[in-house]
Amino acid sequence: MKYSDKTLREAGTVLSDWFDGNGRDLPWRHTRDPYEIWVSEVMLQQTRVETVLRYYEPFLEAFPDLHSLAAAPEEAVLKAWEGLGYYRRARYLQRGARVLCENRNGIFPDTPEELKKIPGIGDYCAGSIASLAFGKEVPAVDGNVLRVLSRIWGIEAPVDRPEGKKAVADLAARMIPPGRVWSFNQSLMELGALVCLPGVCREDRCPVRELCRARMEGKTDTLPRRSARKQPETIRRTVWLCVRDGRILIRRRSGDEGLLAGLWEFPGEDEGSHGWKWDRNGDPAVRARHVFTHRIWEMEGYEVSWPEGRKLPPDCRWADRDDLALLPFPGAMKAFLAWADENID
């Protein structure tokens, strides 16, 4: 289906008007500072607004600008991020801050093309920062926007493929009402968060229901389309709970272990790997399951004793309660942290 510029622009105006009257008052909507917008956009990727609200302001208090973030120890950044998950985002944020400070005197570029040269800034973040901080009339297309626009305009191409993404981005760019890019980009995010939800069409609250192709054609359940997705892989993992003199053994995951690299954990190993030899004491003390994007950990935690004479590997240490509270641990360790809380001094 071909749409005229007039039709697209009118729809963009309806959405912007709706946002101006209905948008939620969120802390990151009060700023035009590119650093603060960047932090909010990175936090909001794959994380609910309610969760981000608990982390956004404390994070900015700890790292109020690019320079403080660039200069901070990585562990402090990961600790401030603990609970938001997807820690790679925090690492990229800091890496990007360092590049901006070292190569650009801490000054953000204002175009998507230049912004995308910074580590950790992809198409979506570049569009957000350029439009929300600098008023550039460019779209910011994330998963919400792909869903909303593929429904409104009846886009049948899979939105997780380049052709589907491009079709959405092209239409979004043509919808922007002149001078109103801020409201327009916010309106798509807001519609995707409150009205046009995954698997749900709240047409009674929708400002564009009269022109929505998916609604008219009964396709709100089938759009957006996606190509067949691989099922996450299930990995059985043994976790060693080793208490000695009132402290528990923890290990820092190395930078090579892409998943959760740099975070602390109770040492463990995947089924089939040849790690430390331990004598298990009976049944598992803790059973836990954690779902990541592409894998699931089925974990069993066993109490073990530290063998006399074994040398402590350099990536391990004995931790007391304070250490467990201060060091960054991934959400996957939650049940084991609770066990440690009851079993150390």
Contact letters for ligand SF4, residues 146-175 (x by CB under 6 A): --x--xx-----------------------
Question: Residue 214 or 324: which CB sits closer to ligand SF4?
Answer: 214
Question: Residue 202 or 289: which CB sits closer to ligand SF4?
Answer: 202
Q: Binding segment for ligand SF4 among 3-11, 165-173, 195-203, 303-311 (CB under 6 A)?
A: 195-203
DSSP assignment string, 226-283 = ----PPPEEEEEEEEEEEETTEEEEEEPPTT--TTTT-EE--EEETT---------SS
Q: Binding segment for ligand SF4 among 4-12, 47-55, 153-161, 204-212 (CB under 6 A)?
A: 204-212
Question: Residue 37 or 152: which CB sits closer to ligand SF4?
Answer: 152
Measured distance CA(124)–CA(315) in Å, rounded: 36
Give the H/E segment covering residue 13. helix 5-22
187 counts as binding ligand SF4 under rule CB under 6 A:
no
Q: Is 301 exposed, middle or buried (0-12, 13-18, 19+ CB in 10 A)?
A: buried
202 counts as binding ligand SF4 under rule CB under 6 A:
yes
Give the H/E segment covering residue 86. none
Looking only at the bridges linking them, the beta strands covering 268-270 and 264-265 are: unpaired
140 counts as binding ligand SF4 under rule CB under 6 A:
no
CB of residue 174 to ligand SF4, shortest distance in Å: 17
220 counts as binding ligand SF4 under rule CB under 6 A:
yes
Q: Which residue in 66, 133, 146, 201 binds ligand SF4 (CB under 6 A)?
A: 201
Q: Binding segment for ligand SF4 among 177-185, 206-214, 267-275, 281-289 (CB under 6 A)?
A: 206-214
Active site residue 41: yes
**Residue 11: C-alpha distances to residues 136, 144, 178 (Å):** 19, 17, 13
217 counts as binding ligand SF4 under rule CB under 6 A:
no
Give the H/E segment covering residue 78. helix 74-81
Question: Residue 187 or 238: which CB sits closer to ligand SF4?
Answer: 187
- Residue whose C-alpha is closest to residue 135's, from 91, 83, 184: 184
Residue whose tokens read 């892409």: 258
181 counts as binding ligand SF4 under rule CB under 6 A:
no
203 counts as binding ligand SF4 under rule CB under 6 A:
yes
237 counts as binding ligand SF4 under rule CB under 6 A:
no
- 203 close to 221: Cβ distance less than 8 angstroms: no
* 73, HSE (Cβ side, Cα atoms, 13 Å): 7
Q: Which residue in 209, 251, 290, 321 binds ligand SF4 (CB under 6 A)?
A: 209
CB of residue 166 to ligand SF4, shortest distance in Å: 20
In which region does residue 321 sit, left (phi positive, over 0), alpha (psi from -120 to 50) or beta (all else)?
Answer: alpha
Which listed residue (10, 36, 41, 203) is catalytic? 41
Residue whose tokens read 């948008």: 23
Catalytic residues: 41
Site residues (vs ligand SF4, CB under 6 A): 148, 151-152, 195-196, 201-203, 206, 208-209, 212, 214-215, 220
